[in-house]
Amino acid sequence: MSRGRLWFFFMLLAVILFALQEALFRFVFPLPEIANFNRVNYSMMVSGATEEKPWPLSNEAYTWASDPDGAEFVHHLNLYGFRDKNWSVKGSNRVMFVGDSFTEGFMANGDETIPAGFEQAARAAGEPMETINLGTGAAGIADYLAVIRDAVPVFLPDTVILVLYANDFPAEEDVGRHLDSGKTALRSDPWIPRLYVVVSRLMDRGRIATRWSKQPFMFLPASDSSRNPLHKEDFLTYVGDFVEPELLASMQAGRFNPFVINEYTNYATYLPIPAKIDGVIERTRQFVEAHGSQLMVVHIPYRSQVSDYYLDYTRQYDINKQPESLMPETYQVHARFLKAECEQLGIPFLDMTDILRQREADGEHMYWNYDEHMKGSSYLLTGTEIFRVWKQQSAMAGTDR
Number of structural domains the chain divides into:
1
CB-hemisphere CA count at 13 Å for 311?
Answer: 16
Task: Please say if the pLDDT value at position 186 is more than 60.
Answer: yes
Residue 299 falls inside a structural domain: yes
pLDDT by residue (tens digit) across 198-235?
A: 888 888 777 788 888 778 988 988 999 888 999 999 99
Q: What is the DSSP letter of 229?
A: G
Residue 82 falls inside a structural domain: no
Residue 339 falls inside a structural domain: yes
Residue-number span of the structural domain to which 183 is assigned: 87-188+225-400
CA distances from 14 to 20, 36, 136, 150, 286 (A): 10, 33, 45, 42, 55
- Distance between CA 144 and CA 337 in Å, rounded? 19
Residue 284 falls inside a structural domain: yes
Task: Check residue 43 and give its pLDDT.
Answer: 83
Q: Which of 153-157, 179-183, 329-333 has the lowest mean pLDDT?
A: 179-183
pLDDT by residue (tens digit) across 162-172?
A: 999 999 998 88
Task: Check residue 49 and give its pLDDT.
Answer: 47
Question: What are the residue ranges of helices labelled H in 36-140?
Answer: 101-104, 114-124
Task: Check residue 53 and give its pLDDT.
Answer: 62
Residue 196 falls inside a structural domain: no
pLDDT by residue (tens digit) across 40-71?
A: 989 866 644 444 566 788 999 999 999 999 99
Task: Check residue 47 and give its pLDDT.
Answer: 47
Q: Which of 43-57, 151-165, 355-369 has the lowest mean pLDDT?
A: 43-57
Residue 39 falls inside a structural domain: no
Residue 23 falls inside a structural domain: no
- Distance between CA 319 and CA 310 in Å, rounded? 15
Residue 58 falls inside a structural domain: no
Q: Give the residue from 35, 102, 29, 98 showing the smallest Cα distance to 64.
A: 102
Residue 113 in contact with residue 103, Cβ under 8 Å? yes
Q: In what order do the strands lie in the sheet with 159-165?
A: 130-135, 94-99, 159-165, 294-300, 349-351
| DSSP annotation string for 17-62 | HHHHHHHHHHHHS---SBTT--GGGT----TTS-SS-PPP--S-EE
Q: Residue 183 maps to which CATH number?
A: 3.40.50.1110
- Distance between CA 115 and CA 97 in Å, rounded? 7
Task: Check residue 45 and give its pLDDT.
Answer: 66
Residue 306 neighbours by CB under 8 Å, 6+ apart: 327, 353, 356, 357, 360, 366
Task: Check residue 44 and give its pLDDT.
Answer: 67
Residue 69 neighbours by CB under 8 Å, 6+ apart: 107, 368, 369, 370, 371
